Amino acid sequence: MLLQVENLTKHFAGLAALSAVSFEVRESEILAIVGPNGAGKSVLFGLISGLLRATSGRIFLQDEEITGLKPHLRACKGIARTFQTTALFDQLRVVDNLALGYRLRTKSGFWATLFHSPGWNKDKTKTTERVEETLDFIGLTEKAFHSVSVLSQLEQRRLSIGMAIIGEPQIVLLDEPTGGLVLQETELITDLIRKIHQAYGITVCLIEHKMRMVMGLAERIIVLNFGRVIAEGTPMDIGGNPQVVEAYLGEKYVA
C-alpha cells in the first residue's frame, strides 16, 4: 500500500468539508477521485500534501505516518502535486521552474553553494541532465528559456506536470489536470499522464470532472459527495452504480 488515508476529517469554521474519509492508493496505479463541486476533492489533496491541517484522521505513506509533517517534508518524501488553478513560478523561466521541482533531490546547502564544493558540481550536472530530460518528456525544449508567463494554457499545464514528476516522486496528485482545456488538449494531457505512468511507474492520483477522460484513464475511481466517499471501484462498477449516477453523473450520462 503506497498511501493510506484513515478517517480524514476537515472542518472549516465548524463546517465539515470532509467527514471520515478513508481510502488507499495502491502502488503504481492510476486512481481518479471524482465528485461534484464542493465535494471536498481539493481539500483532500490539500490534506495529503500538507498545505491544510486535518481536523482529525491519519495519513500514511508506505506505512509511515505523515499526518503532522510540514508540506515541504512531505514533498521530500515523495508526494508531488499540481494545483487546480495552474500554479507556476510565473516570474521565472521554464528551466528555473523545472530546476525548482528537482531541487528537493539535491543536497547542496548554503556553504556548498558558497564554495562550489564537489557535491555542488555533481548536483548541478545532475539537475541539468534531469531538466533536459524532462523538457524533452513534456515537449517544451523549444521554450526552455522562455518566461512562464508567455506559455499557452496547455504548455503551462504540461510544465506543472513536468515540475511534479522531475523530482522522481512516489505519487503525484494532479488536481484537475485537464480543467479548462478543450477536447484535443485534454487528450494530449491524458496521453502525457499515461506516459508518466508507463515510463516512470509513478503512482498517479487525480481529481477530474470529465467523466469520459476518467473512464478511459483510471484503473480505479473513488466518488466523493458532500465530503464522504459514496462509491469506490473500477470504471465499470462506477458507471453502473445507480447511486453514483444519480448523485453525480446525472441523467445525461445514463442516456
Partner 1 sequence: MAVKGFLREKSLYLLLVVFALVLPFLITDRYVFQIVIMGCLFSICTLSMNLILGYTGQVSLAHAGFFGIGSYSVALMTKEGVSFWLALPLASLLAAATGLLIGLPTLRTRGSYFAIATLCFGVIISVVAGNWIEVTGGYTGIVGIALPSPLFFPGIGPISFQTMVAQYYLVLAFLLLTLLVMHRLVYSLFGLGFMAIRNNEILAEAVGVNTFAGKLLSFVVANFFAGLAGGIYASLIGSISPSTASIDLTFNWLIYLLLGGAATLAGPILGAFVIPVILDQIQFLQGYRMIIFGILLIVVIIYFPRGIMGAISDLVRRARACYERGKGMKRAAAG
The yes or no reply on residue 210 touching partner 1 (CB under 8 A) is: no
d(CA 25, CA 42): 16
The yes or no reply on residue 71 touching partner 1 (CB under 8 A) is: yes
- Residue from 13, 14, 15, 91 that binds partner 1 (CB under 8 A)? 91
176's enclosing H/E stretch is none
The yes or no reply on residue 11 touching partner 1 (CB under 8 A) is: no
Contact indicator for 166, 130 with CB cutoff of 8 Å: yes
Q: How far is the CB of 190 from partner 1 (least distance, A)?
A: 23
Q: What number of chain residues touch partner 1 (CB under 8 A)?
A: 39
Region from 59-67, 118-126, 196-204, 226-234 binding partner 1, contact rule CB under 8 A: 118-126
The yes or no reply on residue 196 touching partner 1 (CB under 8 A) is: no
Taking each helix axis from N to C end, the angle separating 153-165 and 118-138, rounded to the nearest 10 degrees, works out to 140
CB nearer to partner 1: give 106 or 225. 106
Strand blocks (E) in the chain:
3-12, 15-25, 30-34, 56-61, 64-65, 79-81, 171-175, 203-207, 220-225, 228-233
Pairing of strands 30-34, 203-207: parallel
Residues that bind partner 1 (CB under 8 A): 49-51, 70-73, 75-76, 80-81, 83, 87-92, 96, 99-104, 106, 108-110, 112-114, 116, 120, 123-124, 127, 163, 167
